[in-house]
Structure 1
Amino acid sequence: MQKAEESFRRYVGDRLVGLTRVAYLLTGDVHQADDLVQATLERVASRWERIERHGDPDPYVRRVLYSQHVSAWRRHRGRDVPVAEPPEPPGSRSGSDDHSGRVVLSVAVAQALSRLSRRQRAVLVLRYFEDQTEARTAEILGLSVGTVKSYARAALARLREVAPELATAGEGS
């Protein structure tokens, strides 16, 4: 048992930053991201010995993270507060040496993602931020590949609608 506990601590130490980053992209809020990661790790900790026996624990942990995210949304539906208007478009920064342009872009992306459904957000984060295949995304979320494609298509269309400035954000940098 002590070996499993040590292995779990090592896993958390190695993956905590990455899990928190993904959780932030899903939730759009630092505190909610921390709560999501904590809830995920609590669920995984009690099963760690079995999870580890099956090989790489990452796919299982990520699936729990995404499932916890969707479940939390169902529990707290209607409690979200709309965000204010996004800051100036990313292309309007004045100095290229400072990091303000990247910060503005990060805020714009987070705000745009917050305007998607939880499942759409999960699909986009997995596909484009974590660079997962459609099949892998479907496996993690427990969806069909066709459903993943449908969510991705709808989410990208919604992003184009609510944040057209993101389409040209990477140009000229």
Structure 2
Amino acid sequence: MRVDDRAARSDFESWMAAKQGRLLRTAYLLTGDVHAAEDLVQTALAKLYLAWDRVSDAPSIDAYARKILVNEHTSTWRRLWRHREVVSDTSAHDVPVRGEEYDGVSDALWSAVRSLPDRQRAVVVLRYYEQLSEKEAAEALGISVGTVKSQASRALTALRTRLGDSSWDRDDLTGWEAHR
């Protein structure tokens, strides 16, 4: 292994150690399933590693990684042959738990978010959890800003209907962690 290769590998490993938890949380919110989230993150990290030489000097590696994550997730729900595997045995450590910064909003909110259609859920996660702008969310999803706006509007209307207008607001969509 060349010195340059070792340095690049070390840079990637350092970046990954710092960012893997956030990617996992975002993937969990996109998929609604811990195991699918782990698979999604592994795929995204593998693709990022293969492109590391080109993107390691980019201004925002995080944005590039998030785009890979979202694109991979989008690919899974666009495939005609998509199927869900049902896990028959789970342990308590795979259940999402409240992070220290969790602000007390009931689990009903995230249950309702997970029940949204895939694209609406992706828009909600990127706009309100990841706090991306409409333009950034549109770029990550490969859709127009207008589509982001309409999907967000539909998602928020559905959440208000399911949860009632006064039980939550958009700021409640922060502070969720999926722990292993």
Deviations 1:32-67 (A, max 9, x none): 111111111111111111011323211110001011
- Report the counterpart of residue 100 of structure 2 in structure 1: none
Distance change in 2, residues 1:52/1:147 (3 Å): same
Matches of residues 45-56 of structure 1 in structure 2 within 5 Å?
45-56=49-60
Distance change in 2, residues 1:124/1:54 (3 Å): same
- Secondary structure of the 2:8 match is helix
- Report the counterpart of residue 152 of structure 2 in structure 1: 152
Kindly report the root-mean-square deviation, in angstroms, between the aligned alpha carbons of the 2 structures: 2.5
Q: Percent identity?
A: 43
- Report the counterpart of residue 21 of structure 2 in structure 1: 17
8 Å contact 2:137–2:148 — kept in the other structure?
yes
8 Å contact 1:28–1:110 — kept in the other structure?
no
In the alignment, the residues of structure 1 paired with residue 29 and residue 132 of structure 2 have an alpha-carbon distance, to the nearest angstrom, of 15
8 Å contact 2:109–2:163 — kept in the other structure?
no
Number of aligned residue pairs: give it. 150
Deviations 1:44-103 (A, max 9, x none): 11111101132321111000101111112233645377xxxxxxxxxxxxxxxxxxx94x
- Report the counterpart of residue 113 of structure 2 in structure 1: 113
Deviation at 1:121, TM superposition (A): 0.8
Correspondent of 2:11 among 7, 10, 16: 7
Q: Which blocks of at least 5 consecutive residues in structure 1 are unaligned?
A: 82-100
In the alignment, the residues of structure 2 paired with residue 125 and residue 41 of structure 1 have an alpha-carbon distance, to the nearest angstrom, of 19
- Report the counterpart of residue 167 of structure 2 in structure 1: 168
In the alignment, the residues of structure 1 paired with residue 82 and residue 118 of structure 2 have an alpha-carbon distance, to the nearest angstrom, of 11
**AA aligned opposite 1:119:** R
| 2:128 counterpart of 1:124 | no
In the alignment, the residues of structure 1 paired with residue 168 and residue 134 of structure 2 have an alpha-carbon distance, to the nearest angstrom, of 25
In the alignment, the residues of structure 2 paired with residue 167 and residue 123 of structure 1 have an alpha-carbon distance, to the nearest angstrom, of 22
- Which has the larger displacement, 115-124 or 61-70? 115-124
- Report the counterpart of residue 70 of structure 1 in structure 2: 74
Indicate the structure whose relative CO is greater, using CA pairs within 8 Å and at least 6 residues apart: 2
8 Å contact 1:69–1:118 — kept in the other structure?
no
Deviation at 1:169, TM superposition (A): 4.3
In the alignment, the residues of structure 2 paired with residue 38 and residue 70 of structure 1 have an alpha-carbon distance, to the nearest angstrom, of 15
- Secondary structure of the 1:53 match is coil
